[in-house]
Amino acid sequence: MEEAYFKESYDVINKDIKKAVSINYDLFQNPQISLLKYSENIICLITDAENRKAVVRINRPNYHNAEELESELAWITQIRKWTDINTAVVYHGRNGKVLQNFTSAGGFEYTYSIQSFVEGKTLKELENGIYDGMEKVGMTAAKLHLLEEKFPHDKNNFKRFTWDINDTLSEEARWGHFLLFEGMTSEEKEIFLNAEIIMKQRLEKYGRNPNNYGLIHSDLHSENLIIDKDRISLIDFDDCGYGWYLYDLASAVSQQSENIGEFVSAYLKGYQKIRKLSEADMREIDTFVLMRRFVRLGWMTTRKDNGVFEREWKKYYKKTKEMVCEYLEKSEM
């Protein structure tokens, strides 16, 4: 499999993006394109003389195939139609399709889609009411899971990858294995591996059934939830896939290294207003929270060029190590 990364920068293909948008969509007259974010994908803001806004996402090559991308866009539309969760509107091109493609001047092929611009502040940007915001995140996740229980997706027809044990806790982990994290001593690697063994055992015992496993967002961190007054909007479904519902809780608190218990409690308060968790679910919250931190350690290691590693690694790793030791102590009781 080819590596999933861009071989051209935004500065190189920005004219190609503008040309593609103008040719394939009727949305704008003389669209102006500016970069919003360049990380996993290239995300651009589209504006025009009438101050209309939309977002174009140029998909990272080799991460998803066309069928998987079309499934993602279909789910965004289903959520908007069947729940009160606000998502972006997915626009159709002149050819009636939601997924478009273009070839850059350099000869590289890209797929892209256009969605409406979602107004508001990210949960991360809120100065006050952060726990109230996290409570809303829990309610949002519960609504997603209830929808999946009522209208489960068929893996044979709705193509997305999984977030199962092998995808998160193995040398083949999708975002990179946590043991690749620089600076780990041999002693630290041993305790992390011991925790990994216990997590895998508990996850296998926990099992997979329609009450705890299905299609999930899988990346509910604070930058993917937009707050506008009382409305919460959900964006960035790039990593949605099949996994445990509790993985959404873990992703919601995955960027935190302080007050994690308070964030978990706020999420659960909101979640259980909509959907009750079982005793078996509650017993594995620590497992999923730690599992996701392992996943993010792998992500930080394999994506050092985005600045997150430099800003966060010391604090994040120190807290994760503390949580590993606590997890092992509890497992011995």
CATH code: domain of residue 221: 3.90.1200.10
Do 226 and 258 sit in the same domain of this protein?
yes
Q: What is the pLDDT of residue 232?
A: 86
Rounded CA-CA distance 115/152 in Å is 25
Residue 3 lies in a domain: no
Tell me, rounded to whole angstroms, the distance of Cα 163 from its chain centroid: 11
162-163 and 241-244 strand pairing: parallel
Task: Clarify whether residues 194 and 280 are in a common domain.
Answer: yes
Residue 225 φ/ψ, nearest 5 degrees:
-125, 125
**210 belongs to a structural domain:** yes
Give CA–CA dist 161/167, Å, rounded.
9
Indicate if 89 and 217 belong to the same structural domain.
Answer: no
* φ, ψ of residue 88 in degrees (nearest 5): -65, 155
Check if the beta carbon of residue 232 is closer than 8 Å to that of residue 136: yes
Amino acid type, 20: A
Q: What is the pLDDT of residue 308?
A: 63
Residue 172 covered by a domain: yes
**What's CA 247's distance to the chain center, in Å?**
11
Return d(Cα 256, Cα 253) in angstroms, integer: 6
**pLDDT attached to residue 313:** 79
**What is the C-alpha separation between 73 and 201, in angstroms, rounded?**
35
Q: How many CB atoms lie within 10 A of CB 172?
A: 9
Last residue of a domain, one of 116, 136, 164: 116
Contact status, residue 267 vs residue 259, Cβ threshold 8 Å: no
Same domain, 174 and 136: yes
Per-residue pLDDT of the chain (333 residues; tens, 9 = 90+): 467 789 999 999 999 999 999 999 998 888 899 999 887 899 999 998 888 999 999 999 999 999 999 999 999 999 999 999 999 999 999 999 999 999 999 999 999 999 999 999 888 888 778 899 899 999 999 999 999 999 999 999 999 999 999 999 999 999 999 998 888 999 999 999 999 999 999 999 999 999 999 999 999 988 899 988 878 899 999 999 999 999 999 999 998 999 999 999 999 999 999 999 999 999 999 999 999 999 999 888 877 665 666 677 788 999 999 999 999 999 876
Same structural domain, 164 and 251: yes
In a domain, 323, yes or no: yes
- 155 and 107, same structural domain? no
Say yes or no: 208 and 302 in one domain.
yes
SS3 category, 196: helix
Sorted by sequence, the CB contacts under 8 Å of residue 22 that are 6+ apart come out as: 28, 30, 31
CA distance 208 to 48: 48
Output the furthest CA–CA distance in the chain (Å, rounded): 66
DSSP 59: P
pLDDT of residue 314: 83
- Which stretches of the chain are DSSP H helices? 10-24, 66-82, 130-150, 165-168, 186-206, 246-252, 260-274, 279-283, 285-302, 308-332
Domain containing residue 42:
10-116
Residues 147 and 44 in one domain: no
Distance CA 317, CA 299 (A): 13
Tell me whether residue 240 is in a domain: yes
Distance CA 262, CA 269 (A): 10
For residues 27 and 53, the answer to whether their CB atoms sit within 8 Å is no
User: Which of 91, 116, 141 is the endpoint of a domain?
Assistant: 116
Residue 50 lies in a domain: yes
